[in-house]
Amino acid sequence: MSLPVFAVVGHPNKGKSSIVATLAEDESVAISPVPGTTTDARRYTLSVDGEPHYVLVDTPGFQRPGELLKWLRSKTDKASERADAVAGFVAAHRDDPRFHDECELLTPLLEGAGILYVVDGAKPYGPEYELEMEILRWTGRPRMALINKIGDGDFEAEWRQALDQYFSIVRVFDALHADFEKRISLLRAFAELDEAWRPRLERAISALESERAHRRLRSAREIAACLKETIAFEEHASAGADVTPAALDALKARLEEKLRQRIRRRETQMFDRVQQIYRHETLSREETGQLIQDVDMFARENWEVFGLSRSQLAMTGAISGAAAGGGFDLAVGGTSLLLGTGIGALIGGAGAWFGSSELARLKTIAGSLGDKVVQLGPITSPNFPWVLLGRAWFHHSLVAERNHAYRDSLKLAIENEQNLMNSLPDSLHRELGRDFQRLTRGELADDAFAEFAGRIEKVLALQPVEILV
Ligand SMILES: Nc1nc2c(ncn2[C@@H]2O[C@H](COP(=O)(O)OP(=O)(O)O)[C@@H](O)[C@H]2O)c(=O)[nH]1
Ligand SMILES: [Mg+2]
């Protein structure tokens, strides 16, 4: 059975390419406020796990519908000959540059595509559209009209009156913001256009639905792996045999910066992978907003919004867990202890990110020839995994709902006074708290990883905050 093919046609600049990008989940479709950006018809196939399900054809808009219709009418006055007249037009004008766009958009229809006619419901209806609709009727292909609104006007009622006369199905569809359910419901409407397409489209719908769940699980695994790896990060440096306190401070600062860089890179990689899962590879990210002015993961504001509040930390036992992990009492003593005892101390400045908690402890271990080797890490800050999870959760929620027509960068900003983690159910909170403690101590067994990822998946299934896109 051949794939259902839908040609998206209409006036220039009405959101045709946007609709193709959204329905084909393709970020490479050219979308632009400049009319005439799409010059040739191009096919975009939606595939799931390598299996193709349907094809969208992006087409240039009508340029000379009046002349085209006049030509068609001059050829026949019989309804039964109209489709042949359209084929005759394309055959006669294939090399005529004046009708390049018309030939491009009519060709897929002659090859059997269904029609998705796109109009802008924010602008008034006008008789010039009648020419286009009439031409589409001449093709005799199954057709549906989509009212896409670009801007604030509302002329839907007036459009419907006109469209109902030419199209068997008329739907409102927001090319930029339609969510998953809206897309699925549109596919169901496509299935009604032509009986022959129904089985293929129903298959497409169930493939998309299971892919959606699968994408969440794959993302959860990426995030879980990122948490597991970053918590275990360590940086080493040789301090020499007779290191002075000042030299040690400098070394500490260098290691800390290296550790932060590594965490940032690993987080970036995780974000990229999650975006790949949702076919949003090239979508850029920015971190702006009222609360988060700094692009840095380690900005204090980020820790306060994405991680746990101080009281939440205490409640989940994360602080006492860290203390039980060893070194907590020494840590609060500050750097002077380091030289004396050679074990754990606060990293200067780290406490400021979140109250009294440090990111990781500095240890000295004996090197060869009386050399001192210092080690920073693994990461012991109880809030660190929550911050990373909070950011990953928020990022995922934006990416998972994002349309492929919407090209503004992702804004990783929450304008909410609450801690993100407040919206987690208590039980999940407790379980994750235990997972994080195990990770911090390096005690999360490999066979427990799947369960850990499963809990992250439960987090991803929740909506973190009202997302304004
Ligand atoms: N606000 C808004 N803008 C849209 C919508 N659909 C398309 N646009 C914008 O309108 C312009 C033309 O869109 P495009 O898809 O290239 O139209 P085409 O010429 O018909 O293919 C682009 O700047 C789009 O971002 C919509 O639903 N809402
Ligand atoms: Mg276009």
> Which domains, from first to last, does the chain contain?
5-193 (3.40.50.300), 214-461 (no CATH)
Ligand 1 pocket member 120 (CB < 6 A)? no
What pLDDT was estimated at residue 328? 34
Ligand 1 pocket member 18 (CB < 6 A)? yes
Give bridge partners of residue 288 from the DSSP assignment. Answer: none
Provide mean pLDDT across the span 108-131: 96
Provide mean pLDDT across the span 24-37: 90
Provide mean pLDDT across the span 412-419: 61
Ligand 1 pocket member 59 (CB < 6 A)? no
Tell me the one-letter amino acid at 175. Answer: A
What pLDDT was estimated at residue 35? 85
Ligand 1 pocket member 174 (CB < 6 A)? yes
Distance from C-alpha of 176 to C-alpha of 208, rounded to nearest angstrom = 19
368-389 burial, b for 16+ CB within 10 Å, e for fewer? eeeebebbbbbbbbbbbbbbbb
287 CA to middle of ligand 1, Å?
Answer: 25
For the chain, what percent of residues have pLDDT higher than 90? Answer: 56
Instruction: Report phi then psi at 61, rounded to 5.
Output: -80, 165
What pLDDT was estimated at residue 383? 82
Q: Which residue's CA is the nearest one to ligand 1's atom 26?
A: 150
What pLDDT was estimated at residue 315? 53
Ligand 1 pocket member 22 (CB < 6 A)? no
For the stretch 430-463, pLDDT in tens is 899 899 989 988 899 888 999 999 999 999 999 8
Strand ranges of the sheet holding 372-379, from the earlier edge strand across to the other edge: 235-240, 372-379, 360-366
276 Rama class: left (phi>0) / alpha (psi -120 to 50) / beta:
alpha
**Which ligand 1 atom sits closest to the C-alpha of 151?**
1
Distance from C-alpha of 464 to C-alpha of 398, rounded to nearest angstrom = 10
Give bridge partners of residue 45 from the DSSP assignment. Answer: 55
What pLDDT was estimated at residue 363? 80
> Could you report how far apart the first and last alpha carbons of the chain are, in Å?
39
Q: Which residue's CA is the nearest one to ligand 1's atom 6?
A: 15
Q: Which residue's CA is the nearest one to ligand 1's atom 1?
A: 150
Provide mean pLDDT across the span 21-41: 91
**Which ligand 1 atom sits closest to the C-alpha of 20?**
15
Mean pLDDT computed over every residue of the chain: 83
- Give the ligand with the smallest distance to the CA of 38: 2
- Give the ligand with the smallest distance to the CA of 153: 1
13 CA to middle of ligand 2, Å?
Answer: 6
What pLDDT was estimated at residue 222? 98
